[in-house]
Structure 1
Amino acid sequence: MTTPGKIKPRKLGHLVLMVRDIHKSVHFYTEILGLEVSDWISDQMVFLRAGSDHHDLALAQIPADSPEREELPRYGRPGLEHFSYLVDDLAEMERAVQLLQAHGVEIVRGIGKHGPGENLFLVFKDPDGNNVELYCEMTQITPAQPYEAKVWERNIDSFDQWRFARFVVPPPAAVVAAKQGKPKDEA
């Protein structure tokens, strides 16, 4: 089966960076660079913005025991976890799934709907193993549409409000275990 055409991104969206000390990084990006905090997930992830998108930069704390952990994100080093491109809508994202599958591209997670930012997401690998995300429908924050930052629990609702109903690949084991209320080892 072949799906003609190409994915048609509208713009480069946001980046997610793995950091050693999330509070030190938040201080840098807010107090020095001037970004604003949109939301937190526990004290493990923070969403920052420079403009009207809910986030254009997210920071994720590297877990203390990261080499052995199987949680998302799974990177035990500082640096890029994923970068994203905005697409028009869910229909374009679904078309992208068909196109990626037709070209044998590994899909990592999605289609889902994040809690913070409310955006839809689909993550896949490029030829070098980098995570690339397509997203759409992100919360917009403007003077006419103000937003109050909140702290989300680190659970299934912050990861995927649709609870894997639209995932085209098996969900990450650690997130499934959290959904079922089991420790990771028992999943």
Structure 2
Amino acid sequence: MTNNHKIKPRKLGHLVLAVRDIHKSVEFYTEVLGLQVSDWISDQMCFLRAGTDHHDLALSQIPKDSPDINDLPRYSRPGMEHFSYLVDSLQDMELAADMLKARGVEIVRGIGKHGPGENCFLVFKDPDGNNVELYCEMQQIALDEEHGPQVWERNIESFDQWRFARFVVPPPAAVVKDKQGKQD
């Protein structure tokens, strides 16, 4: 793997926003924009879709008692947590991780597999500190399909179904703090 390797994303994917009031935000995005709810993680995160991807927008509740915005995946201010790009495969993601490490790019979390959406993920920083995610294998929901949102527990299974086995960096402290895998 050389530093000349380039990631070749297929499209801009989803965006995750940290919000002050998740229920008010979900109401806005469903009632005003007409998005559909795909799944929830407890009452802390909601995944919404406009098309067939499990989610193209996710909303994350800002913790009321968390002053540390660097303890991922928790945030204390509204705004973008990350945006993502679709890659073809897990193998492409693994090659990207090798290239990012070789270039000295900070990898934040991954490689993992989320519960909601079942997508594989790798998150890294751009030069301005923005979180950029590569993802693949996102669950698809047909436009005419009846889909009842699942409510996932906020734990290691919703964060990474592989339980950090493929992570190329140490997992976020907020996720591993509780030995049973329960997130704060």
- Class of the TM-score when normalised by the shorter of the 2 chains: over 0.9
Q: Residue in 1 aligned with 2:152?
A: 152
Q: Residue in 1 aligned with 2:18?
A: 18
Are 1:101 and 2:90 matched, yes or no?
no
Q: Give the superposed CA RMSD.
A: 1.9
Displacement after TM superposition at 1:71 (Å)? 5.0
Contact kept? 2:155, 2:183, Cα under 8 Å:
no
Q: How does 1:66-85 map to 2 (within 5 A)?
A: 66-68=66-68, 72-85=72-85
Counterpart CA distance in 1 for 2:182 and 2:20 is 27
Displacement after TM superposition at 1:37 (Å)? 0.1
Secondary structure at 1:133's aligned position in 2? strand
Contact kept? 1:13, 1:56, Cα under 8 Å:
yes
Displacement after TM superposition at 1:149 (Å)? 0.9
The total of aligned residue pairs comes to 184
Percent of aligned pairs sharing the same letter: 77
Contact kept? 2:15, 2:57, Cα under 8 Å:
yes
Are 1:111 and 2:132 matched, yes or no?
no
Displacement after TM superposition at 1:101 (Å)? 0.7
Displacement after TM superposition at 1:104 (Å)? 0.4
Q: Residue in 2 aligned with 1:127?
A: 127
Q: Residue in 2 aligned with 1:37?
A: 37
Q: Residue in 1 aligned with 2:6?
A: 6
Contact kept? 1:155, 1:179, Cα under 8 Å:
no
Displacement after TM superposition at 1:175 (Å)? 0.8
Query: What TM-score do you get using the length of structure 1 for normalisation?
Result: 0.92
Unpaired stretches in structure 2, ≥5 consecutive residues: none
Contact kept? 2:175, 2:183, Cα under 8 Å:
no
Judged with a 3 Å threshold, the aligned counterparts in structure 2 of structure 1 residues 70 and 103 are, in CA distance, closer, same or farther, namely closer
Contact kept? 2:84, 2:135, Cα under 8 Å:
yes
Judged with a 3 Å threshold, the aligned counterparts in structure 2 of structure 1 residues 182 and 52 are, in CA distance, closer, same or farther, namely closer
Contact kept? 1:3, 1:98, Cα under 8 Å:
no
Displacement after TM superposition at 1:103 (Å)? 0.7
Query: What TM-score do you get using the length of structure 2 for normalisation?
Result: 0.93
One-letter identity of the residue aligned with 1:119: N
Are 1:178 and 2:178 matched, yes or no?
yes
Judged with a 3 Å threshold, the aligned counterparts in structure 2 of structure 1 residues 70 and 180 are, in CA distance, closer, same or farther, namely farther
One-letter identity of the residue aligned with 2:168: V
Contact kept? 2:110, 2:166, Cα under 8 Å:
yes
Counterpart CA distance in 2 for 1:41 and 1:167 is 21
